[in-house]
Structure 1
Amino acid sequence: MVKESKIREVEELAEMIKSSKVVGIVNMYKMPSPQLQDIKKELKGKARIRMSKKRLMRRALEKSGLKGIEGLSEYLKGQPAFIFTEMNPFKLFQYLDSNKTPAPAKEGDVATKDIIVPKGSTGLPPGAIIGQLQQFGAKTTVEDGKVAVVDDTVVAREGDVISADLANLLNALGMKPMEIGLDLIAVYEDGTVFPKSVLRIDEEEFFEKMVMASAYAFNLSLNSGFLTEETAPLMILKAFNEAKSVGLEAGVLEKGVIEDLIARASAEANSLNIMIQKRGD
């Protein structure tokens, strides 16, 4: 028989899900308690974090009845918790990501992103480090008495479990590939689930693509004759100039054309006068 406390827990979580604009899943794996308390203080008034058992969280998602919300169930891995907020999903991800701090890798840790040993000098003398690097596919050489990595080398993919050997290598290289903080795995908003891979965007690259897309759209609208608020002034100017050109060629005596016709006639007359004078001389 299901305990009444578990029933209440599911009902309460379901109500929180239904009353929130944005519902996310964060992984609390190896999250230090002091830092968690600090993050909760920072999020006060912006978001709420609620931990529970995976089974109860899954049932709460189902009970909420929201369209597409069940898609969050597949992200209930590690030590998950709900995060409820009114923030834009992308801003929420950026906020949580910017509050992470680097940490050394330990055996059993799960890589939150690809771990890459960069090309260049390791600053270490030849020795066991060469074999350790080669064990994970890194090509090495010796430069100025120090071991150097020939090319950037991926030693672990996102989601891989860190082995003792890899942890020792990364620590020897002085790398801190892990991050301590709330790891936002996925977010639900308005019937759509956004995984971390979508939420993680390069702002500069995104801005450049938006500017390029805007330029392409403007040119397409202009060249196809599709009138918009942005293209209207240029299209009207273009139409006026084309109409004026036709008027000049046809000798149409209309305002906006007659001035140019008179100026052209005057220029032709002056040229003719100069030619006559030259022949007279």
Structure 2
Amino acid sequence: MKRLSVGFVALVVAVGAACAQEKKTATITITAPDAGYKDTILKVDGTAVSGSGGKFTFTTPALESGKEYKFKVEALIEPNNYTKITRPREVTVKAGDAATLDLTKEDKALDKIVVRWVPTPNDIVDEMAKMAKVNKNDVIFDPGCGDAVMLIRPMKLLGAKKGIGIDIDPKMVKKAQEKAMEEGVAEKVVIKEGDILNEKDMAIASEASVVLIYIGDDLGARMAPVLQKLLKPGTRIVSHRFKLGDWKPDRTVTVRGADGDEYVLHYWEVKEKK
């Protein structure tokens, strides 16, 4: 009887140890932006995860019980055909967990936004300058200036005294500088490499009396607080198509371009700081 008891206890211990070492998977349900967006590309630890309607489900490999595991999740989000947002996150799970991760909300510290340059038609640039009432005393600033058309045309046609632009792409900076030289306004234009989300790079905006912008909603929303902080009262801002986050425009108009298309322009005037 004693031998049987000892054997039974040994069996229970062995079964218990086996159970303790049993491995289980975990599931991570991920929600990404969907409405009005192109298909989001989602990866977990570098492996693509299929999904639809902004919903993705990732099943982990078998995990040891009692341990925590971190998985790196990265979504490539395209709200339009020239804006790409890379949204990285980490999620921690244990064996058997059913975790959720919401990627619909931005994190300014982690999200990376890249905008492909798309030129504004010349006649629409002229309409923007007209809306801003550009004159010979104005200094124009263009964040994300591309080829600097929004600086060059107001200087050539309306006599603005100076143009300032920054662009994150060194190739575009060089192109803008070359175009300013070709158009004979190089001595009146300052083009620098810089990040519009970096307040230090944007410091040159404080000199501006007019800001002309064509940039996506996502970047515009991130840039708005920087503009509000740096620009002096009375500075006029005109944006082609896109708004500046929660900063409500003073006026919005629709103009018809030479190509027959309609273009929306938004206007702000910087108020006295409280």
The reply to whether TM is greater than 0.5 is: no
Provide the TM-score with structure 1 as the length reference.
Answer: 0.23
Relative to its length, the structure with more strand (as a share) is 2
Provide the TM-score with structure 2 as the length reference.
Answer: 0.23
Flag the structure with larger Rg: 1
